[in-house]
Amino acid sequence: MTPTILWFRQDLRLADNPALHAATTTGPVLPVYILDDAAAGPHAHGGAQRWWLHHALAALQASLRARGLELLLLQGNAVTLLADLAARTGARTIHAARLYEPWARARDASLAAALATTGRSLTLHSGALLHEPHRIRTGQGNPYAVYTPFSRAIFALGEPAPPLPIPALTAAPAQPGLDLPALALLPTRHWADAFPKHWTPGEAGAATRLARFGTAELAGYDTQRNLPGLTHGTSGLSPHLRFGEISPRQVWHAARAGGAAGPHTFLKEILWREFAHHLLWHRPEMPEAPLQKTFENFPWQPNPRFLRAWQRGETGYPIIDAGMRQLWATGWMHNRVRMITASFLVKHLLQPWQDGEAWFWDTLVDGDLAANSASWQWVAGCGADAAPYFRIFNPVLQGEKFDADGAYTRAWVPEVAALPAKFLHQPWAAPRPPQGYPPPIIPHAEGRARALAAYAALKQAA
């Protein structure tokens, strides 16, 4: 029988995979994954994502092999490789989950055109989101630019369809490809050695995370999500969603089975992810350019020393440094601390938000182009639905509010761990400041004044 090609991309799972279901209806399935860094350009997987991808592909390989299928691994130009593969095997159709990044949309259009010349087709399926971005419109027929009405509109649509089970699979003849190590996804240095202590990439790892979070943790999510010192205050599902090892429908329905306040708050976080993709679909310039055009002339003050101290977690503000060190050690940072650290970079230090976005992209295992760029623009005050720029977090007060007992800060900044709570978030004020820990890179009052002055200059120039 003629095979059908299933092109895995950001849907590295077998359950609730509409593209996989569609592929099984037309004959034996030939699953393929292609590492196409050139097409993605500056948005190719960052270092931490590449570590995750290696292990996610290994997990997918094992799942497919258990069902008699072999995942074909290729590297290079996906348009050329898929067109050649279809011609060689006689496949008439390629099924894939829809992607939303501008570069991926352009590549899909090129592939569809190339296949059409030989009477073949590319069929895209929804699978990464609850709703397709181009189908969600305001009452006036426009894309949404503000999160709250967007989320209300999604809730008003009712419950998403239930997740699909894993279908019966018939294997197509295997094709020559690469071994997983040949993709060279793992880092050659040892900075990611601790990642396995924190993460289990793959569909099974995602299911385990969801099952754990679907009980007591979800019930307390409404308040616990803001406390970085809690081990299980958040779901930890973001990298699994990023690589499609679990679908938003699976997460949504599991959350609905939880308690009262927590699940609704958690579902709003799922919808923030949807909103970010909605913005990216309609504003493809979002990863590089401010959505509010007035910010194109913002008077940033690029300073390599400031940026490097922030990246290394050596700013002298314990809550900032704890977050940046957690990021480097685990490939992840608590969401509340992401906001605090990002605000500090773009406001106190006046560094361009794109520099922070690039660092997060390279170091986050859950680096997602839509969510990363939308969140940085939100913090920088230049997004479609942004926090005002003049909202400037006080890093001392933020630490005292969200890490009052110091569990998070003491774990990641051992230099200050012995300080009493009174001085933990302002160690320079202690009678004996800790040795080996830097003083604040800039005093809070000075950083705040600089930020407000820059914003005033922007408004005056507008």
- Kindly list the catalytic residues: 269, 272, 300, 335, 353, 376
Angle between helices 318-330 and 395-402 (to 10 degrees): 70
Angle CA(200)–CA(370)–CA(208) in degrees, nearest 5? 20
Cα–Cα distance measured from residue 396 to residue 48, given in angstroms and rounded to the nearest whole number: 29
Give 89's contacts (C-beta < 8 A, 6+ positions apart): 2, 3, 5, 30, 172, 173, 175
Helices (H), 66-129: 78-89, 102-116
Give 315's contacts (C-beta < 8 A, 6+ positions apart): 309, 321, 324, 344, 438, 440, 441
User: With contact defined as beta carbons under 8 Å apart, do 386 and 375 qualify?
Assistant: no
Nearest by Cα to 355 from 306, 285, 283, 317: 306
Angle CA(312)–CA(315)–CA(319) in degrees, nearest 5? 95
User: With contact defined as beta carbons under 8 Å apart, do 7 and 32 qualify?
Assistant: yes
DSSP calls for 223-245: HHTT-TTSTTSS---HHHHHTTS
Q: What are phi and psi of 290, to 5 degrees?
A: -65, 140
User: With contact defined as beta carbons under 8 Å apart, do 101 and 43 qualify?
Assistant: yes
